[in-house]
Amino acid sequence: MQKNIVVIEGDGIGPEVTRQAVKVLNAVAEQGGHEFNYHYCLMGACAIDKTGTPLPDETIEAALNSDAILFGAIGHPKYDNDPTAKVRPEQGLLKLRKSLQLFANIRPVTTYPSLQHLSPLKGKILEDVNFIIFRELTGGIYFGKKELNAEGTQASDECIYSREEIERIAHLAFKQAQQRRKKLTLVDKANVLETSRLWRKVVQDIAKQYPDVKVDFLFVDNAAMQIILNPKQFDVILTENMFGDIISDEASVISGSLGLLPSASIGKGSALFEPIHGSYPQATGKDIANPLGSILSAAMLLDHFGLRTEANKVREAANWTLQNGFVTKDIDPINFYFTSTIGELISDYVSGKTPGDIHRDNIELRKSTII
């Protein structure tokens, strides 16, 4: 198989985690005789520095013509700490999502037996958690009209949703639920927001076409608690853009780290794959960020290419590192391994080097206890 992949490393830890995902994709390609061609493009603060814009036209063009996009993260403190900045890295990401019509962001959440000690409830009830968040990605408050009055004393962000925007992601979520445990939970704030009441109405209408799927409705404030307290109740969560953004970061806590969660953004054209975390500026260049969110996003990219066995091999390798204590600093702040070491271990595993072939002594040399 020959595929053209646009790689957008972005800012902060984006480059270092994305490089691990590319290592793993290279191992998959080598094993299977595939040819993955990478085209590196700019977006975010690094793009502003080099071109004056967070999303150069060349990046949009390359992304539109690619088979898939692998993305790291964008964002830099110099913009986060300047609320008056007119040009911002995040504008690039939002524009890319809109340009590619990536209306559905799919964020699977799982727990790992070896990381139970990190879970907030530290108990049996967090075993076997496995749900998927379908977050609407190109509408809602992030894309509404933004205004600041002349005096700088009043601001507004408009939140708009159309029936069509809700329907297209709802159908995807219902279809996914049919292939899983047949339960869909709409997370909204329909007791207060008109947009949420439209979401409820549309989902109730669409539910008639999926009679085998049980539908639940949950207010987002309650959902935020339930995700921690009783996450096993969820199968597919469907929600709007901002609520999905927030509850998915929250859900990462029950997995063990924000660095673990991958995502796929799909729509009408090329699909994009990215970890759910941001550019984690404090860790930039230290080789300590968890690359699993990025590597597992690459696994979702392989699924998208129809390479399901290979994708599962990558997931098996990621599980193997966690089970054997090959973890980054977010998981074990004392005995941890570097980002690049985890990437090597996983690509070695995918290349057919069984755990027995990997000499722990060599790995120990690359371990750090001093950062």
Ligand X SMILES: NC(=O)C1=CN([C@@H]2O[C@H](COP(=O)(O)OP(=O)(O)OC[C@H]3O[C@@H](n4cnc5c(N)ncnc54)[C@H](O)[C@@H]3O)[C@@H](O)[C@H]2O)C=CC1
Annotated binding site for substrate: 97, 107, 135, 221
Q: Which two tokens stand for residue 158?
A: 């408009």
Interatomic CA distance for residues 17 and 113, integer angstroms: 24
Q: How far is the CB of 115 from ligand COI (least distance, A)?
A: 22
* 279 interacts with, out of ligand COI, Mg ion, ligand X, none, CB within 5 to 8 A per kind: ligand X
* 132 interacts with, out of Mg ion, ligand COI, ligand X, none, CB within 5 to 8 A per kind: none
Q: Is the dihedral of CA 205, 143, 11, 96 positive or negative?
A: positive
Catalytic residue among 142, 161, 210, 337: 142
- Binding to ligand X (CB under 6 A) within 276-335 occurs at 277-282, 289-290, 293, 330
- Binding to ligand X (CB under 6 A) within 247-276 occurs at 257-259, 274
Interatomic CA distance for residues 341 and 216, integer angstroms: 43
Q: How far is the CB of 279 from ligand X (least distance, A)?
A: 4
Does position 67 interact with ligand X (CB under 6 A)? The reply is no
DSSP, collapsed to helix, strand or coil, labels residue 70 as strand
Pick from 39, 40, 64, 90: which binds ligand X (CB under 6 A)? 90
Question: Is 245 considered catalytic here?
Answer: yes
* 80 interacts with, out of ligand COI, ligand X, Mg ion, none, CB within 5 to 8 A per kind: ligand X
Q: Where are the alpha helices (DSSP H) in 85-140?
A: 89-99
Which of 361, 269, 221, 210 lies closest to 65, judged by CA?
Answer: 269
DSSP, collapsed to helix, strand or coil, labels residue 57 as helix
Does position 244 interact with ligand X (CB under 6 A)? The reply is no
Q: How far is the CB of 67 from ligand COI (least distance, A)?
A: 22
Question: Is 189 considered catalytic here?
Answer: yes
Under the rule (CB under 5 A), what is the footprint of Mg ion? 245
Residues of each annotated binding site: 97, 107, 135, 221, 245, 249
- Binding to ligand X (CB under 6 A) within 166-195 occurs at none
Question: Is 142 considered catalytic here?
Answer: yes
Interatomic CA distance for residues 15 and 9, integer angstroms: 4
Note whether 21 and 339 are within 8 A (CB).
no
Note whether 290 and 257 are within 8 A (CB).
yes
Beta-bridged to residue 4, according to DSSP, are 37
CA 360 to chain centre: 31
Q: Which is nearer to ligand X, 150 or 334 (CB)?
A: 334
Q: Which amino acid is at 174?
A: F
Q: What is the 8-class DSSP label of residue 309? A: H
Residues of each annotated binding site for Mg(2+): 221, 245, 249
Pick from 4, 53, 64, 80: which binds ligand X (CB under 6 A)? 80
Catalytic residue among 98, 183, 189, 286: 189
Under the rule (CB under 6 A), what is the footprint of ligand COI? 90, 93, 142, 245, 276
Catalytic residue among 221, 232, 353, 357: 221
Which of 330, 321, 250 lies closest to 283, judged by CA?
Answer: 330
Instruction: For 65, list phi and psi in degrees, rounded to 5.
Output: -95, 10
Residue in the shown chain whose Cβ atom is closest to ligand COI: 90
Does position 75 interact with ligand X (CB under 6 A)? The reply is yes
Q: How far is the CB of 205 from ligand X (least distance, A)?
A: 32
Q: Which two tokens stand for residue 44?
A: 């975010």
Q: How far is the CB of 241 from ligand COI (least distance, A)?
A: 8
Residue in the shown chain whose Cβ atom is closest to Mg ion: 245
Q: Which is nearer to ligand X, 139 or 278 (CB)?
A: 278
Return the number of other C-beta atoms located less than 10 Å from residue 269's C-beta.
Answer: 14
Length of the chain: 371
Question: Is 221 considered catalytic here?
Answer: yes
Interatomic CA distance for residues 278 and 281, integer angstroms: 8
Query: How far does the chain reach from its first CA to its final CA, in angstroms?
Result: 41
Q: Which residue ranges make up the site for ligand X (CB under 6 A)?
A: 13, 17, 73-76, 80, 90, 93, 257-259, 274, 277-282, 289-290, 293, 330
Active site residues: 142, 189, 221, 245, 249
